[in-house]
Amino acid sequence: DSDFKKDEQRDLVFIMVDVDFFKRVNDDYGHAAGDELLRKIAQRLSTVMRKSDLLVRWGGEEFLIMSRAADRSGTPVFCSRILDVMASAPFDLLGGVKVRKTCSIGWSPYPWCESAYEAICAEEVIELADTALYLAKSLGRNQSVGFLPSDDAIRSPERISIETLREQRSNLIRVIRTAGTITTTHTVNVPKGNASDFPEEFLVRGKIKTED
C-alpha cells in the first residue's frame, strides 16, 4: 500500500507453522486422531500468541500466524516460544493415545524492506515465508527460519522483486535460524551456494527429544 508509512504502524509478520511428521499420526491412529491433534495444536499455539495475532489453518498440517503490529527483530524469540510450547508436553488423543510433536516454522515480515515498501506485496511475503518453512524442514525440522532483506538488498532496494529473490536469495536474503532453548547469539559466515548455504545468524538452542 503506497500509504503505508513506517511511523504509522509496525510490521505484519507472516509465520508458517508445519507439524513435523504429522502423517505418522494419521497412518498409526487414524484421521480422527489427526484431526484432534490439529485442534489441540491450535489451542496450544494460542497460548503463546497475543490477542492481536491471528491464527488460521493453512491446509494439511500447516497453520499461518499473522502477527500484527509486530517488531520483526522480536520474531525469532516468538518462534522459539512456539517451538518450545509445541514440544513441551505430549498431546492427549482419542483412546488414551499420547504423542509428542515438534514443528517447523518459516516467517517473513511485511513490508519486507523498509526502503522499498511496494517492491514485495503481502502475497509474495507469504511465498517467502513458505520457502523459509521448506528450508527449516530441509535443515532437520524442529526449528524456524526467517527471511529478511540482506545488507545488499537494503543498499540497493531497486533490485528487490519476487523474481530476483527467487533467483538470487543468497545475495538479497538474510536468513535467521532458531532451534531449541536460546543460549547465545552469534553470526556465522558460510559459503554462498544452494538454499542451505545462505549466510545465517544463529540463535543456538537446545534440543527436546521427541518420539519421531
Q: Nearest to residue 84, comparing CAs of 205, 211, 212?
A: 205
d(CA 30, CA 34): 7
Q: What is the pLDDT of residue 169?
A: 57
Residue type, 96: G
- Give the pLDDT confidence of 78-124 residue by residue, as tens digits: 999 999 999 999 999 988 999 999 999 999 999 999 889 899 999 99
CATH superfamily of 12-202: Reverse transcriptase/Diguanylate cyclase domain (3.30.70.270)
Q: Which residue has the higher pLDDT, 118 or 200?
A: 118
Q: What pLDDT does 69 receive?
A: 86
pLDDT in tens, 156-185: 999 999 999 988 656 899 999 998 653 323
Whether 41 and 63 have beta carbons less than 8 Å apart is answered as yes
The CA angle 87-90-92, to the nearest 5 degrees, is 140
pLDDT at 9 over 80: no
Asked whether the beta carbons of 173 and 179 are under 8 A apart, the reply is no
Q: Name the catalytic one among 8, 36, 61, 200.
A: 61
Give all strands (DSSP E) within the chain, no chain letters. 11-19, 54-59, 62-70, 91-92, 98-99, 103-110, 144-149, 173-179, 182-188, 200-205
Q: Given pLDDT bands bounded at 50, 70 and 90, which one contains residue 195?
A: very low
The domain segmentation of the chain, as residue ranges, is 12-202
Largest Cα–Cα separation, the chain: 57
Contacts of 170 (CB under 8 A, 6+ apart): 192, 193, 197, 198, 199
Tell me what pLDDT residue 166 has: 86
Tell me, what's the pLDDT at 180?
60
Active site residue 211: no
Single pTM value for the model: 0.82
Helix (H, G, I), strand (E, B) or coil at 181: coil
